[in-house]
A and B are shown apart, each in its own frame.
Chain A
Amino acid sequence: MTATHTPPHIRMSNEIAVQFRNRDPAWAAEQIAAHIHSFWDPRMRARLLADVTADDDRLDPLIVAAAALLPPARANG
């Protein structure tokens, strides 16, 4: 682990995004949002949403688009 390590939720969300890179962006955002909603613990979603709000430039644009489709999440699991 290096000090400059990417936070796990950013790394994981970007890994999801890259799988959908060649799909229609609107469809992809929908799929990604559904995936994250289905599989992610709310506290991870909350962090992601927070980073999106904070315009973290490490986030894939598809994730930013998907985040807009996610319901708000409670921060503490």
Chain B
Amino acid sequence: MTEVTVYVPRDSAARSVGADQVAERIAAAAGPRARVVRNGSRGLLWLEPLVEVETPAGRVAYGPVTPDDVEDLLDAGLLDGAGHRLCLGPTEEIAWLRDQTRVTFARVGVIDPLSPDDYTAHGGLAGLRRALSLAPEQVVAEVTDSGLRGRGGAGFPAGIKWKTVLGAESDLKFVCCNADEGDSGTFADRMLMEGDPFTLIEGMAIAAWATGASEGYIYIRSEYPDAVATMRAAIDAAYARGWLGKRVLDQDFTFDLFVRVGGGAYICGEETSMLESLEGKRGTVRAKPPIPALEGLFGRPTVVNNVLTLGSVPMIMADGAEAFAGLGVGRSRGTQVFQLGGNIARGGIVETAFGITLGELVEGYGGGTRSGRPVRAVQVGGPLGAYLPTSRFDLPMDYEAFAAAGAMVGHGGVVVFDDTVDMAGQARFAMEFCAAESCGKCTPCRIGAVRGVEVIDRIVAGENRSANLKVLNDLCHLMTEGSLCAMGGLTPMPVRSALTHFPGDFGATSEEERR
């Protein structure tokens, strides 16, 4: 009797719907017949727990599997990949997954996240090995040529940032990974850390080599205990294999990596606040300049990149800049890991080249709303992103196209609302969110957000509507132009987009609406 490998995700999204119990039941019921591997999630979240079985013909998927389904599935021949009402067929052939271009997420859901052997068997370390064979300048050039831009939201070219750090004189430099994934509707960072942590480690090691850094920190939000545990375990394993520490991969290169856990403030996802927090201080925004690339963590030159940015680097180095740059549109090159959430029928990870339209994502991949009601609005790019009506479903996912439309791609989170949504309430929430999460340093954000809530309440209550709309407009302008960081600067984006696209929700008369 040969042992059959069964995959049950350890991803916290899967665990939240019973993956642990499913795994336990399979192990208990199948006994020595099955080897249960806890993989990452394939990202088809509406199908979690998604169980896969290794068969001679490839992996076969079943889902969503409840603990109570296990016995029935085994009886039906789960271990042989047999048919069942929950059987989804060969995993790779599920259209939702097949049509994606998985680059950063290529190994997520495929491998055992904490198995170094699995990692290298699936192409892991090829990027780092190649990078270490090149001079740092060449690595920076390659990353620049790939067109990789910061996936955290700002979209700043990674290569240019790295070049600045490489050129900065210092006996100590840092690579900091921003894993304080606080935007609503985003979960890709977490899934990569839980599903393929070595990719992030490899990406950071490459960044360190390319910039002359010797120490790295991964700043993970406290709400992600599984990601913290997985990253820590992976770092331990990487040290054990000589992938970290002194003489990485036996080269003359030292890189030490640590995990730091945030304290629960959204603002610590802003890079300078994150640096303050890493230094043990309150998470408040630093004015720039100086830029972190020159004076970052503890005043030293520092690469600060998002998980997805650093997670894309190993592939770029392994396959070459051209492969990555060959994907995408305009100045948005490569793939983006979009995250579909909110009121959506099929939520999850869609990694695909830039250029796909918003409609294709929401209606195509997402399948419309989960409630079955018509889609009314979509918020892209987190709580500070614009609300877009279905009339803008033609927009291509592209930094510049979104900016031109008064919106932003951000970290690639897409949150869907059906026709029951109150857009004035959503606009108010944007201000409320800002008031709750502002670091409190600059005036427009600290006081402005509170006043914004009050003014919207007055508008909705019909108090001096036109005068208060002017006040709100002025306030939005002030926050956009005057705030210290993107928190205050972008809060008006959802407010203004709601006002622009859904004026009726603010109690506007038809005449006002026409204007």
- Is any CB of A less than 8 Å from a CB of B in the complex? no
